[in-house]
Every structure is written in C-alpha cells, then in structure tokens.
A and B are shown apart, each in its own frame.
Chain A
Amino acid sequence: QSVLTQPPSASGTPGQRVTISCSGSSSNIGNNFVFWYQQLPGTAPKLLIYRSNQRPSGVPDRFSGSKSDTSASLAISGLRSEDEADYFCASWDDNLSGVLFGGGTTLTVL
C-alpha cells in the first residue's frame, strides 16, 4: 500500500529538540529520497529538506533530515515559536509512479 504515515501532532517547549517521523515502504522511502515541507498557518508549503537530508539555502541549520530503510525523520533543534506549523513528508512512489505526501504533523510550541 502506497502510504506515508506521520503522527498527527507533535509538541515541544522553546529551545527543545523535537522529531517528526514519516514511515513508508520499499516502494517509496525505501528506494527514493524524502522531502519535507513546512506550511505556516494560512500560507503555501515551503520546501524545508530535499534529498532526505539537504537544506535549501535560507533554511536554518536547526532543521535536519535523516532516512533509514523505509522511515525518515525531521528534527528541529532549538525550537522557536515561529516553528509552529504543519510539516509534511513527501517521496516518489515506484508503484504509484507518482508523488506521495504524508498526512502531515501539526507542531505546537508550548
């Protein structure tokens, strides 16, 4: 089944480190790169991580990505209030021959 599974919510306090997981299968994460998008309230998504662990220019190094087997993670260190957003993982799926998005994780900074 072509699905990317994320926890619906995550939270942390300012300065803390939080991680968001994305679980897939051999047809997607297991065989392709993972991408992460940040969607601030009322705005379009923004590319945060590409090729599983690369940051576009302008993205703070507080954000990092990793991948292992059929799962991936987004880590945010030194959490800030402005990090409150929805985070989506994405990957190419070989069975779908198309793009899969995870269901999204809403991050709350307490």
Chain B
Amino acid sequence: ETGVTQSPTHLIKTRGQQVTLRCSSQSGHNTVSWYQQALGQGPQFIFQYYREEENGRGNFPPRFSGLQFPNYSSELNVNALELDDSALYLCASRRQGGNTEAFFGQGTRLTVV
C-alpha cells in the first residue's frame, strides 16, 4: 500500500448538488494533486497543491476547487454537479521535485444521477 488514502470510496450524488472528496497524503509528501479518470480513459489533471497553495491547474472549470491543509491532507470540492462529472477521482501525493514519482490513492468513484 502506498499510504495515500481517500474517502469515501463510493458516492452517489444528484445533479446540481455539491460534493467534497478527501485525501490523506503519504507521510513526508508535501505536494498533492487530483485527477479525474472517466471510464476507459487516462487520468486527467485537475490541480495541484504545494504548501497549501494551488500551483498548477488543468482544463477544469472553477466549480472544481480544492484545499490543502497544514498536515498536507487535501480536499476536492465540486459544485453544481453535472452528469459528466461521474468518474473515478484520484488523489496523488509526492515530495516536491521534478524527478519524484507520485503515489496514488485508490480513488473515489463518484456517480452523478
């Protein structure tokens, strides 16, 4: 196991609702990023946090937002849920640096109905 834990594992929400997903980073990792993986596709980068600041963002609208806490845990918030937001959401943590690999949690499966 990598030490990155995500909660909840599964979630069902109604269109228009808001959702918060949580991630606990691996010990010693100060950088956390979030990815959306639609069925049959590769993970798509949402954003990254380092020292509680967002320092990178993919092509996702502002209704996708996040937080990183002093203990390096993180949240992903999605407002005004749409059916297309149904996906596996992956959190990954790593040490800061260009050559460091990211370790992924098992993901949260979000279904929007």
Specify whether A and B are partners.
Answer: no
Residues of A whose CB lies within 8 Å of any CB of B are none
Residues of B whose CB lies within 8 Å of any CB of A are none
